[in-house]
Structure 1
């Protein structure tokens, strides 16, 4: 999401080097969106290695011209087609492997949006469909129109709202959960500098304790916790840690090898630790 051309002078933050380091490490999914405003960069970066990449992009968020950070949602069928064709041009690819609706619409029935997305599959412009920022009911209604391969939502040891309704719905439908912000937008990497109101003291202590036992960092433990959720919920889970540094990328990849014990997982769950 934050990869930009203007950091290329720093070898550790060169966006091309970051993506290539991921591919070299065996990471296969590269996730972007038209709203990230870097599809051209991603397209150039993966050129020559397209066969190694499961390329995901998103549509539906249109930035407002006035207030910084404001956006509107466009999910009408005509815009679906328009947005996809624009992304294909920017990415300079013939097909997008996984295409998401970036945010639910309050005005366009999700059946209409997914119906138009399904047309993209028929046209050969998209291989699979995904949803992001939706409800469990949205997911079920969408899946009735066309199989939803992936659900992308925020999921971390700090943010678990998804487990109440969305994860059970995804598990029931056979939808993979892509967990964005698995390190709490970087909070887990900054445990020692994080104020109590941002990260509960018991969770902070647990992250540090488990990290110490493994010779890892709290951020790596938090990422490993997300990897382990697929065992808890019986649903495939793909953590999606965004990074702009090669060094952080390598640390994130290493977290996949952390095997947390049942006791450690309970230690990271305040509700179970207190019981």
Structure 2
């Protein structure tokens, strides 16, 4: 049996790689070669590679990590099922299936596609309105006991969901959208995660690319953009790198482990994203940046 690249508790690393858009496009551009993209992430010290059954690329992810499986904290998700009949691309429709039988079936299928015998971090992708989360997490806990899953995660849930789930089995990580432009998670989920010792994996730290353009010459010159431009220029970094650095700063402030999860389809962008780990923002810079992008600003 292959061994995960972690010890208990789960070591997610300072930053992960979100593989949602990873595709074997045969574009001919070496920078977009998915094998180069993933290996660049691993070479740069990223351990966690994150995918999901919904993304339609688990087989590709499995191939890209096959030669380096023991270096990878492999994360995948289940529970959101396409209803459009298409294997990949943006779904035209989906539904949530989180009953115990679906948990088992999804895990077995993901293990086959990923070419592995263990998923290091397995998430419920979205809360169910019909299946009690205790049933879902109970089935996930069975997978942990069987050695098929290393740790349990949740995504797109409420603070109450987290507490109920954690009472059944320890939850290692939450994956939620957290960025300068999206702070909803701070209201209830972040305090609950901090209380329970749950890591927060922050997907879309640049808000699906919105914050990449915040410092561009063509961006609207409102107060948010002005502050973003000034601070990015002071550090000689891009707007996207500054946005990722801001997410890195949240952990000490809120008292929990925060792991930004940027995604890209270019190896060069992987290197730029990882470099954001080293940006050190001063207290006044953080205050100005956070206030400028506040939802009430």
TM-based fold match above 0.5: yes
Determine the C-alpha separation between the residues in 1 that align with 2:242 and 2:75. Answer: 26
What is the CA–CA distance in structure 2 between the aligned matches of 1:74 and 1:48, rounded to whole Å? 33
Q: Secondary structure at the match of 2:128?
A: coil
Label 1:220 to 1:272 Cα distance change in 2 as closer, same or farther (>3 A). Answer: closer
Point out where structure 2 has 5 or more consecutive residues left out of the alignment.
1-19
For 1:211, which of 208, 232, 236 is the aligned residue? 232
**Displacement of 1:66 after TM fit?**
7.2
Secondary structure of 1:6's counterpart equals coil
Paired position in structure 2 for 1:186: 209
CA distance in 2 between counterparts of 1:39 and 1:193 reads 38
Contact 1:266 1:272 in 2 (8 A): no
In the superposition, relative to structure 1, how do residues 215 and 79 fare at CA in structure 2: closer, same or farther (>3 Å)?
Answer: same
Runs of 4+ deviating beyond 6 Å: 271-275
Distance 2:276 2:103 in 1: 36
Q: What's the counterpart of residue 57 of structure 1?
A: 76
Structure 1: gaps (5+ residues): none
Q: Name whichever structure is richer in helix by fraction.
A: 1
Matched, 1:166 2:166: no
- Structure 2 CA distance for aligned equivalents of residues 269 and 190 of structure 1: 17
Q: Which whole-Å deviations, capped at 9, do the CAs of 1:163-219 have from their partners, x for residues lacking one?
A: 0100000000000000000001011112227765xxx92222211111110011111
**What is the DSSP-based 3-state SS (H/G/I as helix, E as strand, rest coil) of the residue aligned with 1:55?**
strand
Distance 1:89 1:271 in 2: 46
* Aligned pairs for 1:1-275 within 5 A: 1-7=20-26, 9-65=28-84, 68-191=91-214, 192=216, 201-270=222-291
**Aligned-residue RMSD, C-alpha:** 1.9
Shift of 1:124: 0.7
SS in 1 for 2:67: coil
Report the TM-score, using the length of structure 2 for normalisation.
Answer: 0.88
State whether residues 133 and 164 of structure 2, in contact with CA within 8 Å, keep that contact through their aligned partners in structure 1: yes
Q: How many residues align?
A: 272
Q: Mean Cα displacement is larger for which, 157-166 or 263-272?
A: 263-272
Higher relative contact order (CA 8 A, sep 6+): 2
Q: Residues 6 and 272 from structure 1, CA distance in 2 versus in 1: closer, same or farther, beyond 3 angstroms?
A: closer
**In structure 1, what is the Cα distance between the partners aligned to 2:289 and 2:273?**
19
